[in-house]
Each structure stands twice: as structure tokens, then as C-alpha cells.
Chain A
Amino acid sequence: MIPIDITGLTRDDAMHLYQEMLRIRRFEDRVYQLFLKGELPGTLHQYQGQEAVAVGACQSLNSDPKNMDWITSTHRPHGHAIAKGVSMRGAMAELYGKATGCCGGKGGSMHLGDPDVGMIPAIAIVAGGISVVSGLGLAFKLKKTGQVALCFFGEGATNEGAFHEGLNFAAVQKLPIVYVCENNIYGASTPFHQTSLVTDVADRAAVYGIPSVIVDGMDVVAVRTAVAEARARAAAGDGPTLIEAKTYRFAGHSRGDARGYRTREEEAEWADKDPIERMALAIISTGLADAEALAAVRLAVDTELEDSVEFSRNSPDPDPSEALTDAYATPITIGASS
């Protein structure tokens, strides 16, 4: 395993990045157990392996509540949500379908999000966020707030019409948007090379007249640097950038995926690039911190995690009447009249 380059990082900074990635990893591992135990309804699309992308990207965004940047996400949003600042309690309770969840139990795993921290409910239609993020950017541009919108999507989304319409529109309008494509190679079971003659998603940016960059998606610092540059460009009014992060999901596409479409050798190759382990190795090898300090971080993460599980278990179900609220801002009679 090759450690990532953390030259110039302070101890606090490096430890924070490590902790943020670990929060996602431990959350996802725990969620999988809870799901198998039957505690969580629905389905799961897990994020293990891609943590460097969510954390690196969100660490480059403005989180000042008065003028925060926003993100859109996908059917695989747990990592994005936690990285953007959705509380672990709020996220976990949402997966439990509890009233205390960040969407009150109406969003669930695939629509995790929280406007309070700058994340609209995740859009589980592939490339759906690419359409909508234009509007976030357009609002920021019209209001001249300096805010930026960041759109996460997978390589599979780049074969949707929304990708073409969205990038072209954002480019011509010079919208303050950062597109982050997490190329994890597979759209469910189908490898990208079987659906596109373009090897790198980044190549597609040129046809919309916008810059692109390919980044090691298993390197949190590299992602953060690339997104920071793209964010600065967007905020300066110079328009969107397409970032392609080469990454890998360690789990299957969704809960029941036995991963028969890829080899164990390929998985081992990518496991050797584990973004959290590479970060830990970098921290140790540069002497920023020792194994004991990293263990303390793990303990803190697990304490937060178990608290979120207990919180969720002890939270009330939503009142059934809540099912009929929030469809409209101005309530109307639902269903048959009178």
C-alpha cells in the first residue's frame, strides 16, 4: 500500500480528514449489520471505498450557514450526507424511518439530505441531480451570493440525457457549479467500457467547452485540492468544472449484490488503495501522529456511531398522520373530496 501525499498538512487537518472518512466507513459497516439484522427497512447502496471523494469534496466547500455551498447527491448518498454535515443521528434515524430522521422518515436511504446543512434530498434517479443543480447555481448567480453548488454523480450518469443538457446549459450560463463524477467503474453490474467508447469521463467536458480534471479518488487530499480549485473558478464567475474521481465501491451495488461481475483480484487491487488506510499510513509514516492517536479517533467515531444507533432505536416512529403532510406547502384536500 502506498500512503497518500500529505505534505504541508497540519496534524489537526490530517486527523480531521482521517476522522471524517472513518465516520463514513464505520457508519456504512454498521448500517450493513443493522440491515442484515432486520432493523432497517428498504434497501441500501453503500459507499465504502469512495470516502475520499465525499470528504475531499465537501471539505473544500463553504459551510458558513449564512452563505453555505450546497450539494446534490445520488441513490448512494450516505457518505455525501455525513461529509456535508448531516448529523450521524439524523442520518441513522432516517435510515430507521424514525420521526427524528433528517427527513422525518419521508426520505430514507436513497433520499438522505438536509437543507439545514446545504444538501437537498438525494436524487435517486440517475443524473437527476445534474438537471437540478443548474438551478442551484442559477439562483446563486442571480442573487450574486458567491455560493457554489456541487453535484455528485457516477460515471453511469454521463450516459443520460440530463448530463448533456445540464452541462451544456451550465457551461453557457457560466454557472457556479462543480461536477464531481465518482467513476467507480460499474453502473450496477455493467462496466463503463461496455457502455462508452470514451475511457475517461473527463474527456466529455471538452464538448461543452468546460475544463476537466482527473483525480485519484482514493486520495482525499488530491480530491480536496482539485475541488478547491474548481470551486474557486466557479465562485469567480468562470463557470463549471468537471472532476472525474477514479474510485471503487468495496461493497456491491446494493444490499443483495454478490459481485459476480467482477473478480476478487480486481477487488484486492482496489482494497490496496483503501483511502482510509492510505491516509493512516501517511499520518504514521510522516510522524504527524502515532497509532495510539489514530485508535483514539476510532474510539471517538465508534462512540458517536453507537450513540446514533441508540438514539435511532429509542426514537419514536413518525405519527401516521405525517404521511399526509408536506406534499404541498399550501395544504390541499388529499384524495377524494369531502
Chain B
Amino acid sequence: MSTTSSTTPVKAERRLTIAEAIREGIAEEMERDPSVFLIGEDIGIPGGFGGAFGVYLGLPEKFGHERIIDTPISEKAIAGAAVGAAMMGMRPIPDMQYADFLFECMDELVNQAAKMRYMSGGKLKVPLVMRCPVGTANRGAQHGQCPESYFIHVPGLKVVAPSDAYVAKGIIKAAIRDDDPVLVFEHKLLYGSKGREQAGGLDLTAHVPEEDYVFPIGKAVVKRVGSTITVVATHLTLYRCLAAAEELAKEGIDCEVIDPVTLQPFDTETVFASVEKTGRLLIAHEDTLTGGWGAELAARVAEERLFSLAAPIKRVASHDVPLPVAPILEQTVVPSQARITDELRKLAKV
């Protein structure tokens, strides 16, 4: 992965990958606020990896090893140190390498980070930003899960899932400035050039302004305006939905595709407004079906906008099995573009 912004030809606008955008956002915040620091495994070792997926490459040279803390392989220690430091006025950015490892520090996240403010009667705050790469990539059952939905269930945590570089830079900055614990889920196949190939040749760079900006937590983005079906999706699945929408446009099925960006607090208003227009809703995510965030969104739409619906809500998600490795098995489990297209076509006819 390149450490510069020159991985794609620069035209009128500056285009960055998500990895580059996140790196730039973090660097800007570290520059602005001395209380921001990074902590995790393999993030700053000279000659090492620059963190999983190289997001931190170049940062140790710029900010020094006091603010980029390499740890033992101890997720509880990482998360606990982040919670404690956050309560003492720092703004730590702990790193999980793989979101699957979050299960190693569920106590620190669920019992401590999420509850310290409440238990203290509002006297404490816990401003930490946990970075968690998700997504299947032929790595099997323990290195490819999308566990975002576990955390939307925990009052006290915020959960974001950026899917493009512009949003990624803005929301990592918003998360760092936020006074609550924020989990940032990033898809491994969307980070950069490697992701482009595997994601089916999509150009996932986006215009990213050099100037300081934040993308607010809790705000969805309408990625494609349409009138027939509302589609809500994140990460790689979002791009599959967008591709499906283009395919179906030729058949007269005009999808409105929404990237929720934040999963907790969820921008239900944007979805409600769209559903009022289209009367149909398909929710797609790479997380498994049962208890996924799509279930929560479906429930809220059913509660609040049932009479706007002309057809039952449809969810397309990974099947309820662990992730296999063989590519043909893996692609059977996750929501493929073909499955999404097929379900959209059926939904349009209801």
C-alpha cells in the first residue's frame, strides 16, 4: 500500500483510498490535539506493518513512539488501557487488527467503556475510538466476521461503518472529537487498491478535501436517488447494491440506495423519508441475518412507517453459519450481487 495520495491519477480533484483518508484524518487530529494517541498491536514497530492494512504507515515517524504505543498481544489490556486513559482526559485510538478480536475485550467495551459515564452519574466521559476491520476475504471463520450489530445493542456505545474515503476521513475525525466511545468498523476489501480488484473493479477512491472537515455521527448518505425500492446497505454490500441498482435500472426498477454510515445512533429519518417515497425496503449487510442491524432497522420501519409500505420488508444478509474459506463456499454465504439483484427484482414485483 502506498503512503502517498498518488495511487490513482489525480485529475481535477484529489482522490484517496479509505486507508489513506483514515490515516490523514487521524494525523490531522493528532496534530490538532495532543491528547490523541494510538495503541495496539504491530502499529508502530519500525520495519513492521504500520497496523493492520497499513493504515498507520508514516505516523510513527511523524508523531513518535510515545503517542503510537505498541502493545503485547493483549486485547483486554489494549481496551482497558484505552478506557482508563479516556476517563483521565486522553483521546485514545485503540486498534483491533481484526474486529473478530473484539470478543477478547468484551468486558472492557461492554461493562466498562459503555457504562462508566452512566455509573458515575455523568461525571466521567470515555472518549475512545476503537478501530475494527471487518469483512470476509478468504480468511475463514475467525478473521472475517462483521460484528457491528453486537455493539449497537449496548447503550453507551456508538457504532459507525464508513464505506467511502470522504466519509471515512470526516467520521474518524468526528469520532475522535466525540466524548463517547465510538467503534469504527471498516471493511478490509474497501481500504485500497487490493480491495478494488477483489470488490469487482470498483473505483473506491473518492474526493477527499485536504482541509479540516468532519462528517457527523448519526447522518446517512443517499448514494443513489430512486423511486421504486429503498435499499439500505453498508461496506462491500453497499457497492454490490449500487451495482445491482444500475443493472436493474435497465429493467425500469429504480432503486434509492442509502448508506446509513452510523449504525448507532441510526439515521432512521432518512430511511423513513425514502420509504415514504418508494413503499419498498430492502436491507443488506454482510453480517449474519439473525439479530443483525437490519433486524433493528426493519423493526423500526415496521413500527413507525408500516402504512407507507406496499410490500414486506426484505433483508439480504450472510446466512447464519460461520464463515468458510473456500471461495465458492464463502461467496455462497455472503450477500452476492446476484442474490441482491434477484431479491430486488422479486421485491419490485410484490
Contacts and interface: CB of A to CB of B under 8 A. Distances in A.
B79 interface: yes
Q: In the complex, which of the residues B76, B84, B107, B180 has the most CB atoms of chain A within 10 Å of its own CB atom?
A: B84
Contact of A166 (B67, B77, B87): B77
Nearest to B75: A165
Contacts of B342: none
Contacts of B263: none
Interface string B72-90: 1011110111111111111
A16 B269 CA distance: 60
Given A136-B87, A162-B107, A338-B304, A327 B156 contact: yes
A132 B80 contact: yes
Interface string A117-129: 0001101010010
A149 B90 CA distance: 15
A138 B84 contact: yes
A115 B180 contact: no
A162 B80 contact: yes
B77 A115 contact: no
Contacts of A168: 72, 74, 77
A142 B67 CA distance: 8
A304 to B, nearest CB: 23
Nearest to B128: A135
A338 B268 contact: yes
Given A116-B123, A137-B84, A139-B84, A131 B118 contact: no
A133 B87 CA distance: 10
A332 to B, nearest CB: 4
Contacts of B303: 336
A103 interface: yes
Interface in B14-34: none
B83 A131 contact: yes
A321 interface: no
B300 interface: yes
Given A132-B108, A143-B89, A326-B122, A337 B117 contact: no
B112 A329 contact: no
A211 interface: no
B183 to A, nearest CB: 14
A139 B121 contact: no
Interface stretch (A104-112, A275-283, A305-313): A104-112
B214 to A, nearest CB: 13
Given A123-B112, A327-B155, A330-B180, A104 B121 contact: yes
A184 interface: no
A135 B71 contact: no
A337 B268 CA distance: 7
B72 A115 contact: no
Given A120-B87, A326-B118, A128 B72 contact: no
A103 B76 CA distance: 26
B84 A142 contact: no
A169 interface: yes
B111 A165 contact: no
Q: In the complex, which of the residues B123, B264, B300 has the most CB atoms of chain A within 10 Å of its own CB atom?
A: B123
A325 interface: yes
B211 interface: no
Given A142-B37, A142-B66, A327 B77 contact: no
A327 B83 CA distance: 15
B119 A111 contact: yes
B266 to A, nearest CB: 7
Interface residues of B, number: 57
A137 B158 CA distance: 25
A134 B81 CA distance: 5
Interface string A184-217: 0000000000000000000000000000000000
Given A115-B120, A327-B118, A337-B266, A169 B180 contact: no
Contacts of A142: 37, 66-67, 85, 90
A337 B80 contact: no
Nearest to A104: B121
A197 to B, nearest CB: 24
B276 interface: no
Contacts of B209: none
Interface in B118-134: 118-125, 127
A161 interface: yes
A107 B124 CA distance: 13
B72 A172 contact: yes
A162 B76 contact: yes
Contacts of A140: 88
Nearest to B121: A104
A168 to B, nearest CB: 6
A212 B127 CA distance: 33
Contact of B92 (A135, A326, A329): A135
A135 B71 CA distance: 13
Given A165-B74, A337-B300, A132 B84 contact: yes
A130 B66 CA distance: 22
Nearest to A175: B81
Interface of B: 37, 39, 66-67, 69, 71-72, 74-77, 79-90, 92, 105, 107-108, 111-112, 116-125, 127, 155-156, 158, 178-180, 217-218, 264-266, 268-269, 272, 300, 303-304
Q: Which 7 A-B pairs have the closest CB atoms?
A: A135-B84, A131-B80, A104-B121, A139-B88, A329-B179, A326-B122, A135-B85
Given A113-B119, A131-B112, A328-B180, 11 more contacts: A103-B123, A121-B119, A131-B76, A131-B81, A132-B80, A132-B87, A139-B89, A142-B67, A326-B122, A329-B180, A336-B300
20 contacts: A105-B121, A114-B123, A115-B123, A120-B87, A131-B80, A131-B107, A132-B80, A134-B77, A134-B80, A135-B80, A136-B87, A136-B88, A142-B37, A161-B76, A162-B80, A168-B74, A169-B72, A328-B156, A337-B266, A338-B272
Interface of A: 70, 101-107, 111, 113-116, 120-121, 123, 125, 128, 130-140, 142-143, 149, 161-162, 165-166, 168-169, 172-173, 325-330, 332-334, 336-338
